[in-house]
């Protein structure tokens, strides 16, 4: 379903069409839930947040002007709600201060066996600063463009690129450390 189709659904939802809400739910529920649950790692809380997102869409659909893509709009709502959860719970993050000097040699990734890749990657993603992690997750989980990520996270496009650049470097640094691999600089 492309953005024009999604916008047509939002328009119908704005007039109180519940069948259109069903269709939007079926289209967007899984990617939104995945995004939320990756952040919160709590299926029950994630289901509640997902519910709130769709309720916000239901209540706000008539006011949606269509200036952004529907997907971007909905992820923006979800993103803000996740940030609110983090603020309320004062969740701590670690490792914003990993050393920056590292090589970008792809061989570090190549040496990771298939069975270990996911575990190592998950552990290393968890160590990123939230801003960096968000950016790379939007890019690689959700396949968003840098323009879309900028809109969802309300930062300039240049900032998105910078965050992903640093996230990539830090990920490699972490992966190299976990694999105890010496990579030539």
Can you tell me the distance from the alpha carbon of 112 to that of 148, in angstroms, rounded to the nearest whole number?
A: 31
Residues 64-93 that bind other proteins (CB under 8 A): none
Q: Exactly one of 9, 69, 70, 137 binds other proteins (CB under 8 A); which one? A: 137
Q: Which of 90, 144 has the CB closer to other proteins? A: 144
| 99 contacts 173 by C-beta, under 8 angstroms | yes
Q: Is 30 in the site for other proteins (CB under 8 A)?
A: yes
Can you tell me the distance from the alpha carbon of 125 to that of 155, in angstroms, rounded to the nearest whole number?
A: 21
Query: Rounded to the nearest whole angstrom, what is the least distance from the CB of residue 53 to other proteins in the complex?
Result: 10
For tokens 């690689």, what's the residue?
140
Is the CA virtual torsion 65, 71, 73, 77 positive or negative?
positive
Q: Exactly one of 65, 97, 100, 143 binds other proteins (CB under 8 A); which one? A: 143
17: left (phi over 0), alpha (psi -120 to 50) or beta: beta
| Interface residue list for other proteins (CB under 8 A) | 14-16, 18-19, 21-22, 25-26, 29-30, 33-34, 37, 43, 47, 50-51, 54-55, 58-63, 104-106, 108-110, 117-118, 121-122, 125, 136-137, 139-141, 143-146, 148, 161-162, 164-165, 168, 171-172
């Amino acid at each position: 379903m492309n953005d024009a189709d999604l916008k047509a659904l939002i328009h119908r939802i704005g007039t109180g069409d519940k069948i259109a809400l069903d269709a939007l739910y079926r289209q967007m529920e899984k990617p939104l839930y995945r995004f939320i649950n990756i952040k919160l790692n709590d299926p029950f809380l994630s289901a509640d947040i997902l519910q709130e997102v769709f309720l916000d869409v239901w209540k706000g659909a008539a006011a949606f002007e269509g200036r952004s893509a529907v997907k971007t709009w909905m992820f923006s709502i979800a993103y803000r709600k996740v940030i609110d959860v983090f603020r309320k719970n004062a969740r701590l993050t670690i490792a914003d201060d990993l050393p920056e000097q590292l090589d970008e040699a792809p061989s570090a990734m190549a040496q990771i066996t298939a069975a270990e890749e996911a575990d190592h990657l998950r552990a290393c993603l968890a160590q990123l600063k939230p801003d960096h992690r968000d950016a790379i997750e939007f890019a690689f989980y959700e396949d968003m463009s840098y323009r879309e990520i900028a809109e969802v996270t309300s930062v300039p496009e240049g900032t998105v690129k910078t965050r992903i650049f640093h996230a990539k470097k830090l990920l490699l640094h972490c992966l190299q450390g976990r694999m105890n691999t010496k990579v030539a600089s």
